[in-house]
Amino acid sequence: MAFLRDEDREALKLRLSDDLQAPVKVTVFSEESSGLYVPGMRQCISCKETEQLMNEVAELSDNLEVEVVNVKADPATASEWGVSFTPTIAITDGSEDNGVRFLGLPAGYEFLSFLETMISVSHSNGHGLSTETLEKIGSLEEDLDIMVFSTPT
């Protein structure tokens, strides 16, 4: 069963066509579910759905590429990217890791944030920040992690 309804698919295809200015790579860090419940063993309950949604979205634009990394089969790549939870989605311009991550399935209200993030990454400045803000960020003397948490209400 598809995640996207036909009318949503068409609207999304148009939006991506209008607003994606450059290629975007979506890397999904996932793991297969054994289908067997083992007490004490953590299983990814939304990995399969996340992979499916990302592939459906990627089919709508030639500027989108999806790569799925199985963290069980390739723990070194997951470690390189600093991924410790599944599913994790990294959004990049394909050339470097900019640290943008989504944890979990970006469904419902989170999908709009996911879409806007992909579009931002495709723009030449990748962020839409003013020159003044960039100068202030540039003056920071040590690394800073910014995390934004959202939850449906």
User: What pLDDT, on the 0 to 100 scale, is given for residue 14?
Assistant: 96
Q: What is the pTM of this model?
A: 0.83
Would you state the pLDDT for residue 24? Answer: 95
3-state secondary structure of 79: helix
**Whole-number Å distance between alpha carbons of 147 and 56:** 27
CATH of segment(s) 6-138: 3.40.30.10
pLDDT at res. 85: 93
E strands, 1-153, are 24-30, 64-70, 88-92, 101-103
Calculate the dihedral angle through the C-alpha atoms of 80, 59, 119, 9, rounding to the nearest 10 degrees.
-140
Run means of pLDDT, 10 residues per run, the chain, 153 residues: 89 95 95 74 87 96 96 95 94 86 90 92 76 85 78 58
* Spans of all domains in the chain: 6-138
